[in-house]
Amino acid sequence: MPYPRPTSWRLHTARGLRKYLNPDERRRFLAAADLAAPELRAFCHLLAWTGCRLSEALDVVAGDLDPAGSVAIRSLKKRGRPEVREVPVPDEVLAQLGRLLSPAGRLWPWGRTTAWRYVKAIMAAAGISGPHASPKGLRHGFGVHALRPGVPLNLLQRWLGHADIATTAIYADAMGAEEREIAARMW
């Protein structure tokens, strides 16, 4: 039985344009971020490797880094009931974040608008444009990227902080090259 979901929860615009970064765009985004200042590089890698929202990334503090290999992300969308999810990250991302530690605890001194502009600038430097060239496109790209190697939907649901698995199920709606790659795993 398919998961019911509102029509607004789609990976494509009404005109059929992608809202997520494909694997090549993710690689180009991360490569462009690698050329940026260490703070911006770490921020971009955190977004790409956790699928967290822009506000959630800005809220990460030194105490959220687990040397065992994960980052605690506080869900800012669940108003009224605090929720923290542990998202595993590559060792290099954890090392990048660890190098930013400050006595104040905050990793980034920017506000939401500045962070959004920085991410858009890295997207432009990577040659990425369109509705998917945004922090939300990174979140969606993380979801699609996680399903490609077979991450279970319920684990992805936890990492993204979705209350309902039907919300997470949109990432199984990838089309084009991503859909073919997923199908090829069963051939």
Per-residue pLDDT reduced to its tens digit, 40-64: 999 999 999 999 999 999 999 988 9
Q: Which helix (H) or strand (E) holds 74?
A: strand 70-74
Q: What is the pTM of this model?
A: 0.85
Does residue 14 belong to any structural domain of this protein? no
Domain range spanning residue 145? Answer: 23-184
Per-residue pLDDT reduced to its tens digit, 90-129: 999 999 998 887 766 778 889 999 999 999 999 999 999 9
Instruction: State how many domains the chain has.
Output: 1
Cβ–Cβ < 8 Å for 35, 118: no
Q: What is the CATH number of the domain that holds 42?
A: 1.10.443.10
Does residue 77 belong to any structural domain of this protein? yes
User: b/e per residue, 10-47, with b = 16+ CB within 10 A?
Assistant: ebbeeeeebbbbbeebbebbbebbeebeebbbbbbbbb
Cβ–Cβ < 8 Å for 22, 184: no
